[in-house]
Structure 1
């Protein structure tokens, strides 16, 4: 047996060489395989020592668990800012795993998950036969996050998700409505839903926030709406009321004065009674269901108003952000109104600057054509 400064190498009766090293607890552990020569065993120990010293070491005997088992446990135990995943987020992650990740990679042991396999999986997912680039990017980000935790747990030595730009979504631009279209939408819905459309457009509240809104959250004298909770509908778990999706989501938003009268009318005619009464309910007095509202209220009204195909209620957030920007709202003010913690998220909804630039370019062309028309022949 020969000794190094760290670890030992011995020759076996088979003629091959075995490397042993001290793990984190000081226990002597054998390398996962033997070596043809002593030099190979020495080089393996040198690499292992370097990786341990740099904090990149992963036990070669670890990582035997399949990606499927580890990923499912990851969703159950994942913490974000010290809190478990929101029910809707956990539901989304489970769906992405079930539909797009586990069928292709789930049976693979963590330690055997190679970058080449991830690259092949992502190529199919984002290709012509896949669900689309946006879904592929979301699934890639989820897989990368799971593997990052596996690295932190010392189950694998490095993250196999190393495709540059794969997690970036390149979704098509959402439709931007005109003021006339928004007004036509308001006029197209039943009187019961008029205030909801107005509040969604002019304050940027999400459908989950609007569904959870209670009388006590509206201060029409001060002209504010306080967002303190949101509704989450999870398949198999029913409906739950909880805090907004982020700390920034808890906010008080100023209501434009011109829609205060519509809100007063709505409270008098349609909202549940009492301070805890829901502001927006269906004809039978029950809470709003996202899918029912989309199919029975939004879709026919959007068609009647001439909105682009595929428009959603959520698109009113972008409209409201752009209108606020046109009237001088800063990025920080947009972040507050929309309940976003990062400038990047808020700026996704701000299209005013680009539209102004396009209008300026058009004006310059019009001015040039006018001057050419006035030039002497």
Structure 2
């Protein structure tokens, strides 16, 4: 673009004409070399991020999460910084002090910044994405999840309130997420065919229940119910679930039709876990338990993906590896028994 066809507005005023002239000459050089887009000189991250978020088709829960991450972790540092001034060194320095002790949230916030600036790069506003901190957008679980044994699962089920027993067992044996199981309604359960129809989930990012379809197409799925759970589930539907196809299986209170929140479930679940000697187990740990048991039963990666609602084989492979590790423990224990018998 010829120089006469655009104008450059300085981000600040200058003390002398010489300073202004030097700044303008530098910007023209950078623009001429294709290193800076004139728009990026005056567009702040806050302005661009707001436009970026407004222009995205997102699930309600995802939009809520991004809005929260922007306001709490990104805007305080970057809102007034112009896109052209966000450098790799600045990003690295910011990341070094970001959310200490909260590695998962830290990774997600960094990934959001990287995504937004990646779009700015594709929009030709910046020459390159300045988010270059190796591995910053991913995290490793601090402690591996230890699946519940069958005896522990039985003990937890026996100790939890009666109306929550099917919820615990469906979470484990059907490998459901908390938001999936607490949004199950009478119409989603086909006891005759032995199938759960997972079509929605509930999140609590705003402090109130937000119901939406699964994030991915794979999340919308039919899950076969284990035959030995069907009699208990039929009893639960008869004794604890209100009439009507929209009645929740596990409401906040019986007779209501408000979803059970993680906060309200915490007390009865903690009590049951303590009674079973597994205070460390989370509800997601129950899902992990079901996935590992399914893998141990011989389920293929594709079958695990379908049952758990995964879009990639990565997580399914983790469950298969966990099942293989557990099989090695069992083999070693059996070998010890054999050796002891010969002694």
TM-score for both structures, normalised by structure 2:
0.85
Task: Return the alpha-carbon distance in structure 2 between the equivalents of residues 240 and 61 of structure 1.
Answer: 38
Local SS of the residue matching 2:223: strand
> How many pairs does the alignment contain?
329
Q: CA deviation at 1:349?
A: 4.1
1:87-236 alignment runs, 5 A limit: 87-125=60-98, 130-172=100-142, 173-235=144-206
Give 1:72 deviation, angstroms: 3.3
Which one of the candidate residues 57, 64, 67 is aligned to 2:45?
67
CA distance in 1, matches of 2:339, 2:197: 51
Distance 1:189 1:354 in 2: 30
Query: Which structure shows the bigger proportion of residues in strand conformation?
Result: 1
Structure 1 contact 67–106 (Cα < 8 Å) conserved: yes
Bigger helix share: 2
Provide the C-alpha distance between the structure 1 equivalents of 2:226 and 2:41, rounded to a whole number of angstroms.
Answer: 56
Counterpart among 18, 22, 31 of residue 2 in structure 2: 22
Gaps spanning 5+ residues in structure 2: where?
10-19
Deviations 1:301-344 (A, max 9, x none): 222222143x3212111100000011001111111111111111
Distance 1:322 1:103, change over 3 A: same
- Give 1:11's aligned residue: none
Bigger Rg over Cα: 1
CA distance in 2, matches of 1:315, 1:289: 18
Tell me the C-alpha RMSD between the 2 structures: 3.1
In the alignment, the residues of structure 1 paired with residue 41 and residue 148 of structure 2 have an alpha-carbon distance, to the nearest angstrom, of 51
Query: Following the alignment from structure 2 to structure 1, what is the Cα–Cα distance between the partners of residues 179 and 27?
Result: 60
SS in 2 for 1:125: coil
Q: Post-superposition shift, 1:119? A: 0.6
CA deviations over 1:122-171 (Å, ceiling 9, x no partner)? 12226xxx133222211111110010111122221210001221112111
CA contact under 8 A between 2:36 and 2:84: conserved in structure 1?
no
After superposition, residues 232-311 of structure 1 pair within 5 angstroms as 232-235=203-206, 238-281=208-251, 282-309=253-280, 311=281
Corresponding residue for residue 16 of structure 2: none
The 1:158/1:274 distance shift into structure 2, 3 A limit, reads same
Structure 1 unaligned blocks of 5 or more:
1-20, 49-56, 79-83
User: Partner residue of 1:3?
Assistant: none
Conservation of the 8 A alpha-carbon contact between 2:64 and 2:205: yes
The secondary structure found in structure 1 opposite 2:209 is strand
